[in-house]
Amino acid sequence: MRSLLEREVLSRIRPTKEEESHIQDVARKILSFVKKSGKADAMIVGSVARGTWIHGDRDLDIFLLFDPSLTREQLEEEGLSLAREIASKEASGFREKYAEHPYINATIDSLDVDLVPCYRVESASCLQSAVDRTPFHTRYIRERIPSYLDDVLLLKQFAKAGGIYGSDQMTEGFSGYLCELLVLHCKGFRPLLEAAAEWRPGVVLDLESHQSKKFSEPLVVVDPVDPGRNVSASVSLSRFCEFIELASGYLSCPSPRFFSPAEVIPLPRDSLEGLLSSRGTFLYAVTFRTPPYIADIVVPQLRKSLESICGLLERHGFSPNRADCEMHEERSILLFELLVDRLPSVRRHAGPPVWNRVNSEKFTRKYFDAAEDGFFTGPFIEQGKYVVEIRRSYTHAAELLRSGELLEVALGRHVKIAMEGGWEVSFGSDCWDPEFAGFLTLFLMKSSPLTRILRDREKDPGSDKTG
């Protein structure tokens, strides 16, 4: 039985007849172009094909299916050529993007259209590229989802509002296909939430009972068309737990807020300064030109770089409290909140135990022969080990972050190339930037999705009503 709240939510998130007519008209126009070309077959995939898209969505995915006898190079060449023909005739603008292989992203009649070449394989066991699965996903869901269309819409809106929708590398959340499978497995939106409220890491869901390998992720949803693939592999432990929290919170006290994304009001610069002063921490931002690749390639490299620079800061005595990254079209940012950003010139450095004669002799010789300004005290013995007090390489975190040592740690490959072209280091309120103001706000006012909902409810209890 659908609640009044859920019926009201559905009334505003179902696509209108005008939207459906418009997107189908654009799709038919592209399909007709491909058919007349005689070069490939075409297929609508994704949420539009499955009827699980939400009002306001402007995304249309068209797959161009080529003969599997083509080589990968031929697929890319012929696929891009056909996609460019379509875009040149129909689009107001288009560009080439890269995933496993290149595809065209175009704006056609105000829709964001992806034209993706793939192989026309007979079964999912004959895949020649990762995207070849998608048509099979579409067929599988389309045959089974009609009775649960509204449930999928509710789940997608629920996940979007909670900030956990999207399998992209930045979100690490729930894809549309995953939402559809979860609804199918649990037979509805509310039964899914009731099950999820009791989840613990290690959940395994297998609609076809055909799992062919073990997975280590916190949530395992075996792909119905590929027994060796976990559809929820992108879901991080944090997003998994946030879904559990949201499910439990909604069942305890349903509210329209669970379906309305929280508005992020960026902190103005003076408020950022006051917040940092009250926290007593030290905020540093490293910004540089974004590498010219898609987010799924760049974001993991940003995270790797963030972790490596955190390690560098830690080794030099500047203790990070938290760190995060954000990728934008032109610029990317690595953000660090430090507990300490200035240190004395002297640094203790412990050597080997006295009884380790070979290494202790090397250690004492090294520092005995060191220049007078190279260290302050030692070598001396303390608790059985040789110790020296040496001059610290960097006494200020800003000096370290501006130094060439950043390029010597394990940065992501494309990130390193971008940073070799230069980077900027900002401190405190100077980290404020209109482009990253929302990101800075969420970083400093971090809270779980349910916490945000409950706080908003306390601030404005009247707006929590339906009807």
Q: Where are the beta strands (DSSP E) in 67-193?
A: 93-98, 102-108, 111-119
pLDDT band at 372 (very low <50, low <70, confident <90, very high): low
Identify the pLDDT of residue 329: 92
Within a domain: 337: yes
Q: How far apart are CA 182 and CA 193, in angstroms?
A: 10
**Pair 105, 33 in one domain:** yes
Q: Choose among 202, 186, 206: nearest CA to 194.
A: 186
Q: Rounded to an integer, what distance in angstroms lies between the CA atom of residue 146 and that of residue 130? A: 26
DSSP 211: -
Distance CA 89, CA 68 (A): 27
Asked if 285 and 306 count as a contact pair (C-beta separation under 8 A), the reply is no
What total number of domains does the chain contain?
4
303 and 380 within one domain: no
Same domain, 311 and 399: yes
Is residue 426 domain-shared with residue 280, that is, in the same domain?
Answer: yes
420 and 312 both lie in a single domain? yes
CA 287/CA 445 separation, integer angstroms: 21
Return the number of other C-beta atoms located less than 10 Å from residue 42's C-beta: 21
Pairing assessment for the beta strands 219-223 and 203-205 based on DSSP bridges: parallel
pLDDT tens per residue, range 309-338? 999 999 999 999 999 999 999 999 999 999
Give dist(CA 59, CA 16) in Å, integer: 15
Quick one: 22 and 165 in the same domain?
Answer: no
Reported as type and span, the H/E element at residue 113 is strand 111-119
Q: Which residues form the domain of 295? A: 269-342+395-444
User: Dihedral sign, CA of 30, 42, 96, 232?
Assistant: positive
Q: How do residues 113-137 score in pLDDT, each as one tens digit?
A: 999 999 988 877 777 777 888 999 9
Are residue 29 and residue 115 in the same domain, yes or no? yes
In whole angstroms, give the CA distance from residue 399 to residue 392.
12
Q: How far apart are CA 415 and CA 376, in angstroms?
A: 38
Cα–Cα distance for residue pair 64/33, rounded to 1 Å = 11
Same domain, 429 and 301: yes
Tell me what the pLDDT averaged over the chain comes to: 93
- Whole-number Cα distances in Å, 405 to 64, 413, 416: 47, 16, 12
pLDDT at 466: 58
pTM (predicted TM-score): 0.87
Check pLDDT > 90 for residue 465.
no
Same domain, 428 and 282: yes
pLDDT of residue 172: 94
Domain with residue 226: its CATH number is: 1.10.1410.30
Do 159 and 297 belong together in one domain?
A: no
Share of the chain above pLDDT 90, in %: 81
Report the pLDDT averaged over residues 54-75: 93
Contacts of 289 (CB under 8 A, 6+ apart): 330, 331, 332, 418, 421
DSSP state of 175: -
